């Protein structure tokens, strides 16, 4: 009888431990940021990839971080439309670089996507006749990218070459930014 009680007690302890460990493990819901991270973590990861390749962040130089005012003035969104935001845009008039991530509030996803598409179109129009340092080409190559409730405006890229042989292939840098974003999310 003692042996059966010990076996039963051992099985119950094992079951309790398994339940405890399962309950404490982070859930890996698709399209959520890994390890309970925030959008600022995602943006830092994208910057790290650009720093490794180019020695500068995805949006180089002076950056205007996104906040409630920028959200309203440049994206036409209210702070209540999002639950998290990170990233920013170049403060230099010559530069269209923008890397912004927004998490749409419940029921606001389509509105957020539309706002980021409008902002991309605004950048294209702004630099169409003022294409300094590839800003127009960069805006054209930019993308609005979605992962679940998270939406990103990716207008980034560094020119290649020097002097008269400078070329602009910003699609590769946009793809690199998207890959870095994907690395931070559960599939």
Q: Where are the alpha helices (DSSP H) in the chain?
A: 2-24, 39-54, 68-75, 109-127, 135-141, 170-183
Among 67, 60, 39, which Cα is nearest to 156's? Answer: 60
8: confidence class by pLDDT, cuts 50, 70, 90: very low
Using one digit for the tens of pLDDT, what is the confidence trace for 25-79? 445 788 999 999 999 999 999 999 999 999 999 898 889 999 999 999 999 999 9
Q: Is pLDDT of 177 > 90? A: yes
List pLDDT tens digits, range 94-112.
899 999 999 999 999 999 9
- Give the predicted TM-score (pTM) of the model: 0.84
């Amino acid at each position: 009888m003692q042996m059966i009680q010990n076996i039963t007690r051992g099985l119950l302890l094992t079951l309790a431990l398994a339940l405890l460990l399962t309950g404490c493990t982070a859930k890996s819901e698709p399209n959520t940021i890994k390890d309970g991270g925030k959008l600022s973590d995602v943006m830092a990861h994208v910057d790290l990839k650009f720093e490794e390749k180019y020695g500068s962040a995805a949006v180089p130089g002076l950056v205007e971080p996104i906040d409630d005012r920028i959200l309203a003035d440049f994206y036409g969104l209210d702070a209540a439309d999002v639950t998290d935001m990170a990233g920013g845009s170049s403060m230099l008039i010559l530069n269209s670089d923008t890397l912004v991530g927004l998490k749409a509030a419940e029921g606001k996803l389509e509105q957020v996507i539309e706002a980021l598409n409008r902002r991309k179109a605004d950048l294209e129009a702004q630099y169409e006749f003022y294409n300094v340092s590839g800003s127009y080409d960069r805006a054209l190559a930019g993308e609005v990218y979605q992962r679940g409730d998270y939406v990103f405006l990716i207008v980034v890229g560094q020119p290649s070459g020097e002097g008269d042989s400078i070329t602009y292939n910003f699609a590769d840098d946009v793809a690199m930014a998207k890959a870095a974003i994907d690395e931070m999310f559960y599939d």
